[in-house]
Chain A
């Protein structure tokens, strides 16, 4: 086919394009992913019974802020990675801030604890299930984030996949906060981050395969 004919054909079938496609897709993906994570959490894990009391503890909100801050950074990075040629800017580095924050709190908690108690602060009582529960809760958001990205045009599929995965992981971790009894920063800085890293690594591996266009 001649290029001019192709152009003619494309122009004829084009029609107006709605603005804000990227934002709308991510809005829908986030809503679906969050709803899926909450449903899975309610179905398999359940809300912690003392949630009303614990909500008065500032540490609960610090704990919730960790995944929410990562979610904001991952969302900003993913929305930029979805557009060809857009600068990712500091959105990617912004994900390091909440990590640095929780590690600082963890270091302070470990420093002030008696040497014999430090291991307990890191391991809590649920370390062996925490990362897997977070990864499990992030599955719906993982599918939704990849759905959103697949309808857009990432030119760096591995990076785009990694941030899609991190986005999903942070949604899963935020939902898990409503179930999880742990409150110690050393625990959060280890197992929560590990739980969110699982979908992020999976996303980086799946990106080149799933995000071709």
Chain B
């Protein structure tokens, strides 16, 4: 464990002084540890693990100026990963609270493929009524499954604008559905 810590730390310190290759190697090694760490803690939502790995990598990158080489790297990375994971779980809990809870498994199987396609089509009509700043985040994040960071890059919006767009857009959508 301390061998890994020393190795990663050396790569990061070299990366911080401007060595792009060492920095890339740091992020690459780190992503593997993050994946294992998050997979162990998010066993119920395996599909979201990679999103969160990327979000955490991005946070590590954006906050790399807060790393003090006198500080253990593991503690720093762990605190960031934990913060991002709690943030993710909170967002998820909020999202689930807005939707109807799923019934039992039989209900789930009773829904056919055909209906799903129709639902998507209706959703497309409803979505088209939203302004771009709400529609694009929902389309990319919720329908195509991109991460918030990717959507931000793709649309040129800021990450918080994407998050706000999703939140407000979903509210507007549910208002539209209720009529």
A residues apposed to B, CB below 8 Å: 1, 3-4, 6-8, 10-12, 14-19, 21-22, 82-86, 152-153, 155, 212-213
The residues of A that contact B78 with a CB separation of less than 8 Å are 85
The verdict on A3 contacting B50 (CB below 8 Å), with A21-B65, A152-B63, A155-B82 known, is yes
Take A1-B54, A1-B146 as given contacts and tell me if A84 and B65 are in contact as well, using a CB distance cutoff of 8 Å.
no
**Contact status A11-B20, CB under 8 Å:** yes
Neighbour of A7 across the interface among B24, B72, B149, B150, CB < 8 A? B24
What's the Cα separation between A17 and B15 when bound, in Å? Answer: 9
Known: A12-B20, A155-B79. A6 touches B58 (CB 8 A): yes
Task: Name B48-85 residues within 8 Å CB distance of A.
Answer: 50, 53-54, 57-59, 61-68, 71-72, 75-80, 82-83
Q: Which residues in B have their C-beta under 8 angstroms from that of A84?
A: 63, 66, 75-77, 79-80, 83
For B77, list chain A residues within 8 Å (CB): 84-85
> Which B positions have Cβ atoms within 8 angstroms of A?
15-18, 20-21, 23-24, 27-28, 31, 50, 53-54, 57-59, 61-68, 71-72, 75-80, 82-83, 87, 146-147, 149-150
Most central of B64, B67, B72, B78 by chain A CB within 10 Å: B67
Q: Could you say which residues of chain B place their CB within 8 Å of the CB of A18?
A: 65
Q: Which residues of A contact B54 (CB under 8 A)?
A: 1, 3, 6
Shortest Cβ distance from B129 into chain A, in angstroms? 29
CB distance from A201 to the nearest CB of B (A): 24
Chain A interface secondary structure, helix, strand, loop or mixed? loop
Contact partner of A83 (CB less than 8 A), chosen from B16, B31, B76, is: B76
- Seed contacts A83-B68, A152-B66, A213-B62; 13 additional CB < 8 Å A-B pairs: A3-B50, A11-B15, A11-B21, A14-B20, A17-B64, A17-B65, A85-B71, A85-B78, A86-B71, A152-B63, A152-B65, A153-B66, A155-B79
Residues of A within 8 A of B57 (CB): 3, 6-7, 10
A5: min CB distance to chain B, Å: 10
Q: Which residue of A lies closest to B61 (CB)?
A: A10
CB–CB A83/B67 < 8 A: yes
Contact A14 B23 (CB under 8 A): yes
Contact B66 A21 (CB under 8 A): yes
Are B63 and A213 in contact, with the CB atoms below 8 A? yes
In the complex, what residues of B have CB within 8 A of residue A3's CB? 31, 50, 53-54, 57
**A16 to B13 Cα, complex, angstroms:** 10
- In the complex, which residues of chain A have a beta carbon less than 8 angstroms from the beta carbon of B28? 4, 7
Of the A-B pairs whose beta carbons lie under 8 Å apart in the complex, a sample of 5, sorted by A's number, is: A11-B27, A17-B17, A84-B75, A85-B78, A86-B68
Query: Which residues of A are found within 8 Å of B24, using beta-carbon distances?
Result: 7-8, 10-11
Residues of A within 8 A of B83 (CB): 84, 153, 155
How far, in angstroms, from A37 to B56 measured CA to CA in the complex? 38
**Contact status of A7 and B66, CB under 8 A, knowing A1-B150, A85-B71, A85-B79:** no
B-chain residues with CB within 8 Å of residue A22 when the two chains form the complex: 65-66, 68
Given A1-B54, A3-B31, A10-B61, A155:B80 Cβ within 8 A: yes
* Interface pair A153/B63, CB less than 8 Å apart: yes
A85-B72 Cα distance, complex, nearest whole Å: 9
The 6 A-B pairs of least Cβ separation, nearest first, read A16-B18, A85-B79, A84-B79, A85-B75, A11-B24, A21-B65
Q: A7 CB to closest chain B CB, in angstroms?
A: 4
A86 contacts B16, C-beta separation under 8 Å: no
Bound-complex Cα distance A111 to B21 (A): 69
Check A7–B80 contact: CB distance below 8 A: no
B18 cross-chain contacts in A, Cβ below 8 A: 14-16
Expressed in whole angstroms, the minimum distance between the Cβ of B76 and any Cβ of chain A is 4
